[in-house]
Structure 1
Amino acid sequence: MNVNLKDRIAVVTGASRGIGYFTALELAKAGAHVIACARTVGGLEELDDAIKAVGSSATLVPFDLADMKAIDGLGAAIAERWGKLDILVANAGVLGTISPIGHTEAKVFEKVMNINVVATWRLIRSLEPLLLKSDAGRAIILSSGVAHNVRPFWGAYAASKAAVETLARTWAAETQRTNLRINSVNPGATRTAMRAQAMPGEDPNDLPHPSEVAAKLLPLLSPEMTETGKLFNVREGRMQDYRLPE
């Protein structure tokens, strides 16, 4: 599918590496101006070079999602410069530790919830007014298969992803009569640093490259996308409805 995003403004969090990096690059290739957010300045600068190489442009915003005031300020800065936002890719997240729930340190659990859930809510709150000003606002929130399939020792991360899916579904229901379309994404096992942290014995060459995942996400961000409040399973290449069978 050829997606034309010329002159559209897109925010991507966690854009310095992995799925976020390559999604930002795909957006740029399609003509969008990318507002790339991440903690790692070096990774953002590499992304900026790659985006310039494909003839597009980016605005780099280095900050930590734990900085809630910075998230609020992001919306204000976009409003002042562009007056609207067309695309949000809420990709950034942390794994925490793989351990029994009862053995997870409080500071680790709280960090996972803060970055994966609270920061996502702050992004929604900060950017929703701008997305609603777009003629075709589009948002995707990255989730995980562990939000649905119980996996021992993944409690904190799984709970955080179940929470952000619920946020996305609620947000989609609240905005279904607008031009905004919101969906969650389960990328499946992907060759990323987070996956390597979780599965250190796994051969990364057996996994899809994040660029393959990013290419499949682009149609979800197109003005032609009509689905909202659903889960896109990258591995299966299809949308899943949350409604239970009647």
Structure 2
Amino acid sequence: MSKPVALITGASRGLGAELSKIFSLTHHIIAVARTIGALEALDDEIKSKGGSCTLAPIDLTDEKATAQLCRSIFDRWGTLKIWAHTAIHAAPLGPVMTIDSSDWNKSVKNNVTALAHFIPMVTPLLGDDSEVIFFEDKTIMKKFSSIYGATKAAQIHIAKTWQNETKSTGPRIHIFQPNPMPTALRGRFYPGENRNDLQSIDLEAKRLVSLLDM
């Protein structure tokens, strides 16, 4: 396969799905998510426009599954040109004094531990000129978002540390801050918000991709 390969983790919906569609114009897509139906719909749309896609319906917290994914990528393609990480678990909002241990543990497992385990697995697939993309959320310090905010901040701290470590060697680590979009996650956090006032997901995805110097 002559196209470079782009890995999108969290590809089934929202920003991850839109990035997959955009990158599919020039890259073969490996779409990772847990929701099989949404992945299949994404695959249909990409292929209807002449693109190519490989679906990986796995849970990123499953170390054996992610190790097998990375091994399969190496065996078939050898390298990745792009990795965009949009996967995030959002715990229910609530006061700090009501933090639920199961919500906390699930968020740490999905947002922090899974990433910490996945980076060493995916790094051998990344070249000096590969692009890795993470996404900040400026709302993480707002009230009632302690679990989501803490684990999202930890995720971005890992990304920024990796960015500092690879400035002179590659891969290129990007940390972008999307404008507010009408995603399912934002709908849960801001149920009364006028979604017409938000940037459309497809236009915001195009803006973010334009920030890459590729």
TM-score (norm 2): 0.94
- Identify the match of residue 131 of structure 1 among 126, 135, 152: 126
Instruction: State how far apart, in whole Å, the 1-side matches of 2:54 and 2:71 are.
Output: 15
1:159 to 2:150 alignment: yes
Instruction: State how far apart, in whole Å, the 2-side matches of 1:136 and 1:54 are.
Output: 27
1:144 to 2:124 alignment: no
In 2 relative to 1, CA 213–201 (structure 1 residues): closer, same or farther, beyond 3 Å?
Answer: same
Instruction: State how far apart, in whole Å, the 1-side matches of 2:190 and 2:139 are.
Output: 14
Match of 2:10 in 1: 14
Give per-residue Cα distances to partners, 1:59-90, cap 9 Å, x unaligned. 00001222222122221111111111111011
Please show how residues 97-246 of structure 1 align to structure 2 within 5 Å: 97-132=92-127, 136-147=129-140, 150-223=141-214
| Bigger mean CA deviation after superposition, 168-177 or 191-200 | 168-177
SS in 2 for 1:191: coil
* Alpha carbons 2:178, 2:208 under 8 Å: kept: no
Instruction: State how far apart, in whole Å, the 2-side matches of 1:83 and 1:41 are.
Output: 25
Q: CA deviation at 1:102?
A: 2.2
Cα RMSD for the two superposed structures: 1.5
- Structure 2 counterpart of 1:38, which letter? A
Q: CA deviation at 1:220?
A: 4.2
SS in 2 for 1:49: helix
Give per-residue Cα distances to partners, 1:143-197, cap 9 Å, x unaligned. 21134xx311111111112111111111112222223100212213211111111
Runs of 5+ in structure 2 lacking a partner? none
Runs of 5+ in structure 1 lacking a partner? 1-5, 224-246
Instruction: State how far apart, in whole Å, the 1-side matches of 2:97 and 2:211 are.
Output: 38
- Identify the match of residue 59 of structure 1 among 54, 58, 67: 54
- Identify the match of residue 77 of structure 1 among 61, 72, 81: 72
Instruction: State how far apart, in whole Å, the 2-side matches of 1:212 and 1:94 are.
Output: 23
Instruction: State how far apart, in whole Å, the 1-side matches of 2:95 and 2:113 are.
Output: 23
- Identify the match of residue 28 of structure 1 among 24, 28, 52: 24
* Alpha carbons 1:90, 1:120 under 8 Å: kept: no
SS in 1 for 2:118: helix
In 2 relative to 1, CA 7–15 (structure 1 residues): closer, same or farther, beyond 3 Å?
Answer: same
* Alpha carbons 2:14, 2:201 under 8 Å: kept: yes
* Alpha carbons 1:24, 1:34 under 8 Å: kept: yes
In 2 relative to 1, CA 61–48 (structure 1 residues): closer, same or farther, beyond 3 Å?
Answer: same
* Alpha carbons 1:140, 1:220 under 8 Å: kept: no
Match of 1:227 in 2: none
1:37 to 2:37 alignment: no
Instruction: State how far apart, in whole Å, the 1-side matches of 2:208 and 2:107 are.
Output: 24
Instruction: State how far apart, in whole Å, the 1-side matches of 2:83 and 2:189 are.
Output: 26
Large movers: runs of 4+ above 4 Å: none
Instruction: State how far apart, in whole Å, the 1-side matches of 2:42 and 2:157 are.
Output: 31
Q: CA deviation at 1:221?
A: 4.5
